[in-house]
Structure 1
């Protein structure tokens, strides 16, 4: 009877070790899924940024073509109608007076989430209108397309630089 009344309220060392092992296993299972979710969110951000820049490039080209069609700009033989730099999309362009003020296409140049840079370094791989599709260097004449500078592999097995 005295044994029943003598109630030890504590955990043994073995119970603590088993609990810690179980928590460690659970933590080891959760960590990769958190890392995968983080990578997936960066991929979504990269796709959104590429879509935003490419849309702005297309809008610039359409506006340039409209300005040429309306006679506001003269056709230059070696000019593609794409902006000279990405910064032109932010600063704006007047298109020969087609609009009362400079037309801007981006508020800011988005950052590549997989290729962090400091200062004024190149944020994106640029391709000019006359560059080969597999070109590793930018012709510098205009900006026809952008892609990531990251060499990492995406969740689906493709390279970010090929998006």
Structure 2
């Protein structure tokens, strides 16, 4: 009587586990790259949203919809004023629903730049909000610093 046994030998099992381990190690950097790319997209969107709100505030102030301080150049005094809004003809006009979260620092704290500050300044003069940047000192996939975006 002939007996046929089916199953997997230890050698076959070791080979399969080794192949799976190699594939898993190759997938980890790709996954990290994709997560970083998604955070970069989120950062770009947040910066785009805030810079758009700053521009809308300035446009409305220059059209005379509301009064601003003389030294502000019609830019908002801070980010919270974009969320809190301003009174325009007895109506509250808001430019942002909320201050976006910086995905790189996981915070709503941003590096601000006033119109009067130097272009490469890392400290905010406090007169107005002309531009915003991430406070992250990390480097993007394209080699630039997030704080320079």
Same fold (TM over 0.5): yes
Dislocated runs of 4+, deviation >3 Å: none
Alignment counterpart, residue 82 of structure 2, candidates 89, 94, 119 = 89
Report what 1:159 is aligned to. Answer: 145
- State the 1:99 CA deviation: 3.3
Alignment counterpart, residue 106 of structure 1, candidates 73, 96, 109 = 96
CA deviations 1:129-156 (Å, max 9, x no partner) are 1000111110011111000111111111
Report what 2:72 is aligned to. Answer: 79
Structure 1's unaligned 5+ residue stretches are none
8 Å contact from structure 2 (residues 86, 93) kept in 1: yes
1:1-163 matches, within 5 Å, as 2=1, 5-67=2-64, 73=67, 76-94=69-87, 98-117=88-107, 123-163=109-149
Q: Distance in 2 between matches of 1:60 and 1:157?
A: 32
TM-score for the superposition, normalised by structure 1: 0.86
Q: Distance in 1 between matches of 2:85 and 2:118?
A: 27
- State the 1:76 CA deviation: 4.9
CA deviations 1:82-140 (Å, max 9, x no partner) are 1111000000011xxx43311100000001100123xxxx6110001100011111001
Structure 2's unaligned 5+ residue stretches are none
SS of the residue 1:81 aligns to = coil
- Bigger fraction of residues in strand: 2
SS of the residue 2:26 aligns to = helix
Larger radius of gyration: 1
Q: CA RMSD in A?
A: 1.6
